[in-house]
Amino acid sequence: LGERQPRATVVVAASIDEEYRKLGARAIADSGVAYEGAVVGEPTELELVVAHMGSVRWQIEVQGVPAHTSKPHLGVNAITGMAKVVLALDEHHRSLVSRAQHPLVGSSQLTVSLIEGGLELTTVPPVCRIWVDRRLIPGERPQDALAEVESILEGLRQGEDKINVRSLLP
């Protein structure tokens, strides 16, 4: 085996930080190294995998109006507004799983994985943020997944609630 030359250049890249910021994968992509294919080491119990889900992530923010909790009617509770968003996204997730599935990776997924809101116990929360992880099956495009979420949010935008979507790097 050591005497045979591969038909292509082989590059070994041991990337780091896969689950959080993907710093290793970003550095590889930004390096300009050209490649025709990749073998990715994943915990697959030594099973060969030829397809993988893609991902796109967003931060969604609901803006309310702060007020003292002794007079909550003077404010707009951003967490209450976000609750509507989370429930709508959960319903969207259920519709995604009922769509046609990819034979190798299954169905598309959408998960609200983080939530943050409020300033202190005695203040009507002026802001609430969630982070959404959307898994794409082969053939799905990130811009189409975003358009679906934007459409859901557009239906929820009303009154004093402000809903903003910010794309996070995949």
Contact in structure between 75 and 64 (CB atoms under 8 Å):
yes
- Give tens-digit pLDDT for 98-134: 998 999 999 999 999 999 999 999 999 999 999 999 9
What are the strands, taking DSSP E only, across 40-150?
54-63, 109-117, 127-136
How confident is the model over 67-109, as pLDDT tens digits?
999 999 999 899 998 999 999 999 999 999 999 899 999 999 9
For the entire predicted model, the pTM comes to 0.75
Whole-number Å distance between alpha carbons of 7 and 1: 13
Contact 124, 69 (CB under 8 A): yes
- Domains of the chain in start order, with CATH, are 54-168 (3.30.70.360)
pLDDT at 48: 78
Distance from C-alpha of 110 to C-alpha of 86, rounded to nearest angstrom: 11
Q: What is the DSSP letter of 122?
A: T
Please say if the pLDDT value at position 26 is more than 70: yes
Looking at residues 47-56, what average pLDDT do you find? 85
